Structure 1
Amino acid sequence: MTAFLATLGGKLADTWLSLLVLPGLLYLAVASAGSVLGHRNPFDHGRLIERIDTMAGAPATHSPGTVVLVAALVLAGSAGVSRLAGALGGGVERLWLGDWPRPLRPVARALTRRRARRWSAADARYRQALTARALRAASASASVSASTSASTSEGPSALGDVRDDSTTAPDTAELGEARNLIALTHPTRPTWMGDRLLAADARVHRSYAIDLTSAWPRLWLLLPDTAHTEIQTARAALTGAARRAAWGLLYVLPALWWWPAAVIVAVTWAGAWRQGRLAVHEFAELVEAAVDLHGRDLATALGIPCEERLTAAEGLEITRTLRKGA
């Protein structure tokens, strides 16, 4: 028990140091240094050193009580700022996933309509390209058949009339990728990340007729530890990215009196946003993979016969069972 408590205490101390103290200390250091340097002399380190020497030479700094008090205040301030970043991170995550508060909902609806129009236009171009490619393939097949028939009477030169205009045709793969960059399914949220999560639900329902909202808690209980770890890691990556974005927002304050902090804001926010998109995509892929690989286990656990692959028939029965008539 003593060893366990020592190990647990070490882990808690490491977590407290890495998540609360160090980021908060860095923020306080930047804010304090920026308040000394200002906009006019943003890199005048001599001025900063002079201010530190002046503070160090003050009589109060030689008192042990003052040193302890200042250290405690710095640690408490660092932890407080870090807790604030964590709270803001939850708000950033909600914004990323399209769950916007009531005052912002008119803006959310306008963005959703705009994304839906762009997606519909991109989807129409993609489907038109698919139709055109199918028509060209059918036309080419008919031309080859006609040329082959004619070659028996007119000779091999008749094959030279068959032309390949595939070089002038639109690339369906590029058009499909352009559509998917907007959303995998018809957008219903103001953000890509929110639609990416909803797309997992829609794709699972379209393939298996399973209501993922009601099925996921039961499926989670059946997943092996490896799947739990992978999904939890992806989810934690999203939370971490939102927290880093929140730190970027906090650095807006010192940027008001020290402009280099604005660079920190831009770099931190851009990196966090990129990592958040990757984390959402990976999380959604893992959720779909869990249904693909363990959907039969869920059907079996519910007493629904599923001897081979999971189909929409078994999926519909799973949904009816889990919804309990609702």
Structure 2
Amino acid sequence: MTAFLTTLGGKLADTWLSLLVLPGLLYLAVVSAGSVLGHGHATDHARITERADRLSAGPTADSPGSVLLIASLVLVASAGVSRLAAALGTGIERLWLGDWPGPLRPAGRALTRRRVRRWRAADVRYRQALTARALRAAAEEDAALGPLGPPGEPDEPADPADPDGEDTVALNARRNLIALTRPARPTWMGDRLISVDARVHGAYRIDLTTAWPRLWLLLPDTALAEIRTSRTALTAAARRAGWGSLYVLPALCWWPAALVVAVVWYSAWRQGRFAVHEFAELVESAVDLHGRDLATALGIPCDERLTPAEGLQITRALRKGV
């Protein structure tokens, strides 16, 4: 038990140091440097050295009690700033996923309508290209058949990049860059998660919101670990964006901090998009690979592959007749 408590205490100390103290100390150092240098002397390191020498020569530096008190206040402030960054990260995650609070909902609805218009235009263009390509293929086949009947084997399969029309692969990719399904949120990340529900329901008639907690209990440890890791990556990216928001304050008086804001925000946003995509893919894959296990656990026969018929029975069973 003593060894266990010692190991646990060490891990907690490492976590507290890496997640709370060190980022907070770095932020406090940037704030202090910005307040000393300002915009006019942004890269004048001599001013920081002079201020540090002045503080070290003061009477406070010779008092152990004062030094201990200041060090304790700095550590507490570092932890407090880290908690503030985590709180900001929670709010930023909600914004990324399109769960906007009341004052922002009108803007969210306007952005959603704009995304719907863009997605519909891209979808219409893609479907028109598919139709035109199918008509050309049918006309070429009729011309090839002629009055003598069908020819021999075709030389090569049709190229998706049709030289006589628009590239349907590129048009499909352009539409999917907006959203995989009809947009319902003001952000790409929110629509990427919503699309999982729509795609699963379209393929299997399963209400994923109702089925997911039950399916989670049936997933193997490897799948659970991968899903947890991707979800944690999204939280970490949002927390990093929270830190970027905090660096706006020193950027007001010290312009190099603005570079930190730009780099941190961009990297956090990229990481967040990747984490959302990976999380959505893993959730959809869990349904594809283990949906039959859920049907079997509910007593629904599913011998070969999960079909909309079994999926509809799963939804009816889990909704309890609602």
Task: Tell me if TM exceeds 0.5.
Answer: yes
Q: Which residue of 2 aligns with 1:115?
A: 115
Establish whether residue 43 from structure 1 lines up as the match of residue 39 from structure 2: no
Establish whether residue 18 from structure 1 lines up as the match of residue 14 from structure 2: no
Q: How many positions carry a matched residue from both structures?
A: 313
Q: Which residue of 1 aligns with 2:282?
A: 286
Find the aligned partners of 1:207 and 1:142 in 2 and give their Cα distance: 34
Establish whether residue 232 from structure 1 lines up as the match of residue 225 from structure 2: no
Find the aligned partners of 1:147 and 1:13 in 2 and give their Cα distance: 84
Deviation, structure 1 residue 166:
3.5
Find the aligned partners of 2:162 and 2:168 in 1 and give their Cα distance: 11
Deviation, structure 1 residue 149:
6.6
Establish whether residue 181 from structure 1 lines up as the match of residue 181 from structure 2: no
**Identity %, equivalent residues:** 72
Deviation, structure 1 residue 2:
1.3
Unaligned runs of 5+ in 2: 152-160
Find the aligned partners of 2:169 and 2:18 in 1 and give their Cα distance: 44
Establish whether residue 320 from structure 1 lines up as the match of residue 316 from structure 2: yes
Q: Which residue of 1 aligns with 2:28?
A: 28
Find the aligned partners of 1:148 and 1:253 in 2 and give their Cα distance: 80
Give the AA of the match of 1:189.
Answer: R
Deviations 1:108-143 (A, max 9, x none): 000000000000000000001111111111111122
Find the aligned partners of 2:219 and 2:127 in 1 and give their Cα distance: 37
Establish whether residue 201 from structure 1 lines up as the match of residue 202 from structure 2: no
Quote the RMSD (CA, aligned, Å): 1.4
Find the aligned partners of 1:130 and 1:179 in 2 and give their Cα distance: 14
Give the AA of the match of 1:22.
Answer: L
Give the AA of the match of 1:103.
Answer: P
Find the aligned partners of 2:103 and 2:73 in 1 and give their Cα distance: 37
Q: Which residue of 1 aligns with 2:293?
A: 297
Q: Which residue of 1 aligns with 2:85?
A: 85
Instruction: Between 165-174 and 129-138, report the one with greater CA deviation.
Output: 165-174
Find the aligned partners of 2:62 and 2:150 in 1 and give their Cα distance: 105
Establish whether residue 56 from structure 1 lines up as the match of residue 42 from structure 2: no
Find the aligned partners of 2:150 and 2:120 in 1 and give their Cα distance: 44
Deviation, structure 1 residue 311:
0.5
Q: Which residue of 1 aligns with 2:163?
A: 167
Deviation, structure 1 residue 146:
2.4
Deviation, structure 1 residue 168:
3.6
Find the aligned partners of 1:7 and 1:257 in 2 and give their Cα distance: 44
Find the aligned partners of 1:148 and 1:251 in 2 and give their Cα distance: 77
Distance 1:137 1:125, change over 3 A: same
SS in 1 for 2:163: helix
Q: Which residue of 2 aligns with 1:70?
A: 70
Unaligned runs of 5+ in 1: 152-164
Q: Which residue of 1 aligns with 2:259?
A: 263
Q: Which residue of 2 aligns with 1:162?
A: none
Give the AA of the match of 1:29.
Answer: A
Find the aligned partners of 2:222 and 2:150 in 1 and give their Cα distance: 63
Instruction: Between 7-16 and 186-195, report the one with greater CA deviation.
Output: 7-16
Find the aligned partners of 1:173 and 1:260 in 2 and give their Cα distance: 43
Deviation, structure 1 residue 148:
6.7
Give the AA of the match of 1:26.
Answer: L
Q: Which residue of 1 aligns with 2:155?
A: none
Q: Which residue of 2 aligns with 1:160?
A: none
The TM-score normalised by the length of structure 2 is 0.95
Give the AA of the match of 2:316.
Answer: R
SS in 2 for 1:167: coil
Give the AA of the match of 1:137.
Answer: A
Please, which of 210, 222, 230 is the counterpart of residue 218 of structure 2?
222
Q: Which residue of 1 aligns with 2:98?
A: 98
The TM-score normalised by the length of structure 1 is 0.94
